[in-house]
Amino acid sequence: MKSINRLGTFEDVLASAPQDVRLICQALRALIEELHPDSVEVPRPGEPSVAYGFGEKKMSEAYAYIMPQKSYANLGFYHGASIADSHPTLEGTGARLRHIKIRSIEAVRSPATVKALQDSMVERRTALGLDKA
């Protein structure tokens, strides 16, 4: 994973999160790195969130983000509306974004969470034309 720390670090994003939420965020980060070892990580402490994708651009190259909340972590998908039909666990009604509220360490590696991440990666890879030879 390549981390772009121009705006801050992953730890900066988690700085004010409760310990149990930090652990969930760390587990999500580990899962993303496992599924996409070459991902680009862009922490944005001001939001506070951490974006993951095929490049630094949040709304075009990123496929997911982690955002700590008071009692859970949001695993968000910048283009989640494109995969929502096959993922009933995705929440949100916006034009593009969807998310899953991750409330436990066990939920991080649930089949629904893993599949949503994998599908969001495929969606972005295809949209960016990265599958072409």
Q: Which range marks the domain in which residue 107 is found?
A: 2-127
Task: Please state, as a whole number, how many other Cβ atoms lie within 10 Å of the Cβ of residue 84.
Answer: 18
Count of structural domains within the chain: 1
Burial of 78 (0-12, 13-18, 19+ CB in 10 A): buried
Integer Cα distance of 117 and 64 in angstroms: 7
In a domain, 10, yes or no: yes
In a domain, 103, yes or no: yes
Q: List the CATH number of the domain containing 119.
A: 3.90.1150
What pLDDT does 86 receive? 81
In a domain, 132, yes or no: no
Mean of the per-residue pLDDT values of the chain? 95
The reply to whether the predicted model has a pTM over 0.85 is yes
Q: Is 1 a residue whose pLDDT tops 80? A: yes
What pLDDT does 132 receive? 67
- Residue at token pair 């990666």: 121
Are 98 and 115 in contact, with CB atoms under 8 Å apart?
no
pLDDT tens digits, residue range 34-64?
A: 999 999 999 999 999 999 999 999 999 999 9
